[in-house]
Amino acid sequence: MKLVIILALVAIALARPDDGFYDKKYDNFNADELIENDRLLKSYAHCFLEDGKCTPEGNDFKKWIPEATTTSCGKCTDKQKVLVAKTIKAIKEKLPAEYEALVKKHDPEHKHHDDLNKFLEKYAP
């Protein structure tokens, strides 16, 4: 029985190699739809702040925020970097109070402020 469990775990590991990136299923997430809908954008921002309901995608994104903040989305694919940057920029411009709350929560000492701005300039000009 132990051998069956070990083989199953090996098969799972081989079937889904860890390439160091976030799940590529989000490469085609429709960030434009999110950005253009103020109510939806606000809902996601409150999900990230843990004071609102989350969609399954929102829950995944919320888990990644701390690491993505400190590495300028280092585990994001190139497509995801554009989507993340566009979303952050939209929250920053359309929901300044929520943006400030997110900064306070994830970068209270503003250690990553300059890197975030460079990231936004590069991926969401």
Per residue in 40-67, pLDDT (tens digit) is 999 999 999 999 999 999 998 888 888 8
What is the span of the domain harbouring residue 107? 21-123
Within 13 Å and on the Cβ side, how many CA atoms surround 99? 13
The domain that holds 48 is classified in CATH as 1.10.2080.10
Quick one: pLDDT at residue 69?
Answer: 80
9 found inside a domain:
no
Q: What is the mean pLDDT of the chain?
A: 83
73 found inside a domain:
yes
8 Å CB contact between 64 and 52: no
Helix, strand, coil percentages, rounded to 5, for the chain: 75, 0, 25
3 found inside a domain:
no
Q: Closest by alpha carbon to 88, among 75, 72, 77?
A: 72
Selected residue with higher pLDDT from 65 and 114: 114
Q: How many domains does the chain have?
A: 1
Mean pLDDT of 75-96: 92
The rounded radius of gyration (Å) of the Cα atoms in the chain is: 17
